[in-house]
Amino acid sequence: MTVNLEVAEGVGTLRLDRPPMNALDVATQDRLKELAEEATRREDVRAVVIYGGEKVFAAGADIKEMQAMDHTAMVLRARALQDAFTAVARIPKPVVAAVTGYALGGGCELALCADYRIAGENAKLGQPEILLGLIPGAGGTQRLPRLIGPSKAKDLIFTGRMVKADEALALGLVDRVVPASEVYEQAHAWAARLAQGPALALRAAKEAVDAGLETDIDTGLTVERNWFAGLFATEDRERGMRSFVEEGPGKAKFL
């Protein structure tokens, strides 16, 4: 399989496994969607790590496969391509991308689908589609400017240039830079900590933030208000508040 889902301690690792560069061909895209939807459904998966291995995250689309596709073929495929990445972005649980080596084109777009990005010192990220006479087609023109702002996103998209980990951190494209050998360990630790948290509240927080980014402030506040009030009906809220009153802050156990 080109993508695998491995589950341990409440953390599901979506592991890309298509050597040597984890090129995201059609089969890999479809498998990614299938496993993202599985991670969404599974109750034993409470947080997710996206990982490409020690050497490379994903170097982008399979260019040879794309070269053979004409306009009609891509019209028929483009929605499925976006749907695969959207399935990752809509996992209603904390998702962290563990980025080593190249994360280019579709690889960068996949990292953008995560809630948090930890990059190795050897990471190189970018949207080089313009160098092929194309634009990003798996969400890059939409998620990248929402993350780092339109002018910075346009610079990367217009030039197709790669950025190293330190510049990616300065741009806000990644959230933490660590030695390459520690990327997965730290990403898993981030996910494992959240896997111990209140699942419904984490889902609510993610959906409120994401929905709010897509709408006006008043609608966003309505989404927040509804989730906030709704959580008062949950066992996790009862447990968290009871623990706070009886034991002090930060000691509640949600599993």
Q: Active-site residue numbers? A: 109, 129
Place of tokens 């634009």: 135
Buried b (16+ CB within 10 A) or exposed e, 45-82: bbbbbbbbbeebbbbbbbeeebeeeeeeeeeeeeeebb
CA angle, residues 84, 87, 91, in degrees to nearest 5? 155
Residue type (1 letter), 140: G
Q: How many residues does the chain have?
A: 255
Cα distances (angstroms) measured from residue 104 to each of 84, 112, 134, 157: 17, 11, 14, 11
Dist. CA 236–CA 210, nearest whole Å? 22
- DSSP secondary structure letter of residue 181: G
Dist. CA 2–CA 30, nearest whole Å? 10
Helix (H, G, I), strand (E, B) or coil at 173: coil
